[in-house]
Chain A
Amino acid sequence: DTGVSQDPRHKITKRGQNVTFRCDPISEHNRLYWYRQTLGQGPEFLTYFQNEAQLEKSRLLSDRFSAERPKGSFSTLEIQRTEQGDSAMYLCASRRQSPNEKLFFGSGTQLSVL
């Protein structure tokens, strides 16, 4: 496995700006997940894709958040009009579709909204 890759590793932005993160999953994995993690907490599920279809969205995913996986490979997570409360680590994970397959996580994108 070449691993799940996330870009950028760190992002500092001003409140009100839009930001976009990219995730490249392991190539043969058709399931892709986005999580958010704040300091001292475990990762919180945001959304997941099977191939290019977004199959579930958490209530944590407000209207300012949008995720895409246009060709069923890489995915992007965009946050519009960022707020200070959006500051967190955004984690991407991928896995094969078969039951009980383990999740492989990337190293995350640390977002700081000033």
Chain B
Amino acid sequence: DAKTTQPTSMDCAEGRAANLPCNHSTISGNEYVYWYRQIHSQGPQYIIHGLKNNETNEMASLIITEDRKSSTLILPHATLRDTAVYYCIVNYGGSQGNLIFGKGTKLSVKP
């Protein structure tokens, strides 16, 4: 079973920041937080991952709380093309790496 809890859906205005929360209260010390997204009719796409420090790349920022029980994915300037289902996944970043997906958050970016 997925070890994360996410809101079912969220809306965001185009050009504004989208902040997607994720709860992972049972995360263990060696587990990473991964974010993927899935645009309709495509396979999931990697966005970002982190262990305990905040991370940023060209797509998004990941903010992980100090106790690591929750995190937030930030899309700084959402566009219509960011409309997708966003999955937050907790996984041991070791040799297997098979990810357990939950139902994710359906983000709708509106003009």
In the complex, identify which listed stretch (B12-20, B65-73, B76-84, B100-108) lies at the interface while the others stay far away. Answer: B100-108
**Does A85 have its Cβ within 8 Å of any Cβ on chain B?**
no
Q: Give Cα A107 to B38, complex, Å.
A: 10
**Does A21 have its Cβ within 8 Å of any Cβ on chain B?**
no
**Does A45 have its Cβ within 8 Å of any Cβ on chain B?**
yes
Given contacts A44-B101, A45-B99, whether A99 and B44 have CB atoms under 8 Å apart is no
**Does B45 have its Cβ within 8 Å of any Cβ on chain A?**
yes
- CB pair A99–B95 under 8 Å, yes or no, is yes
- CB pair A99–B100 under 8 Å, yes or no, is no
A50 → B minimal CB distance (Å)? 9
Give the interface residue-count category, chain A.
20 to 34
Q: CB-nearest residue of chain A relative to B103?
A: A42
Chain B residues with CB below 8 A from A48, complex form = 96, 98
- CB pair A56–B98 under 8 Å, yes or no, is yes
- CB pair A101–B97 under 8 Å, yes or no, is yes
Q: Give Cα A109 to B34, complex, Å.
A: 24
- CB pair A99–B103 under 8 Å, yes or no, is no
Q: Give Cα A38 to B100, complex, Å.
A: 14
For residues 99 through 114 of chain A, which have their beta carbon under 8 Å from a beta carbon of chain B? 99-108
Given contacts A42-B102, A45-B99, whether A93 and B43 have CB atoms under 8 Å apart is yes
**Does A26 have its Cβ within 8 Å of any Cβ on chain B?**
no
Chain B residues with CB below 8 A from A106, complex form = 43
- CB pair A105–B45 under 8 Å, yes or no, is yes
**Does A74 have its Cβ within 8 Å of any Cβ on chain B?**
no
B62 → A minimal CB distance (Å)? 13
Partner-A contacts on B (CB < 8 A): 2, 32, 34, 36, 41-46, 49, 85, 87, 93-104
Partner-B contacts on A (CB < 8 A): 4, 31, 33, 35, 40-45, 48, 55-56, 91, 93, 95, 97, 99-108
